[in-house]
Each structure stands twice: as C-alpha cells, then as structure tokens.
Amino acid sequence: MYGAGTGGNYAPPSITVVIGINNTVEWVNNDTVAHTVTSNSGPASFNSGNMNAGATFTFTFTVAGTYEYYCEYHSWMGGQVIVEAG
C-alpha cells in the first residue's frame, strides 16, 4: 500500500482471495508517512493500528464476503478485499 496526498491510495485498490489458497493478506506501508488499514464493512473487522513507514500488517480472512477498509488518517483512502469460499 502507499498513500498520502491527493490521489494517494492502497495499491492495488481491490484484491480477490480464496479461503485456503491465499487468504492471508499482508499490507506494507511503502509510503513515507503513517497509515492504517481499518475495516468499515464486511463479515469481520480488522484494524492495523498505526503503521509507520515500512510497517507491515497481516490479516487472515476466514469468512467469505466483501470487505471495505480505509485509512483513519486519510479518509479518502479506501480499499477492498473480496474473499471467496475455498
């Protein structure tokens, strides 16, 4: 993920994973400022808390569905994880 500044966002903005195949997702803050990965909809919630530059956050999705997340510091940043049943 990267971000900060107009147009900054998670990359890629949407991913699709399959339970049992690739359902552990790691975010890496490749930016120079802090961000968060914070869910705001979906079957389960997750929150990285503060991620400084270079920090990583890993979450394993075990329930199928569509998850939306954002950055608590930059409200324009949004991402999506689509989790499919294995």
Residue ranges that bind Cu ion, judged by CB under 5 A: 3, 35, 71, 73-74
- The β-bridge partners of 82 are 16, 66
What is the C-alpha to C-alpha distance for residues 32 and 47, in angstroms, rounded to an integer?
20
Distance of closest approach, residue 73 Cβ to Cu ion, in angstroms: 4
Distance of closest approach, residue 51 Cβ to Cu ion, in angstroms: 8
Q: Given the complex with Cu ion, which of 61 and 70 has the nearer CB atom? A: 70
Q: Given the complex with Cu ion, which of 31 and 67 has the nearer CB atom? A: 31
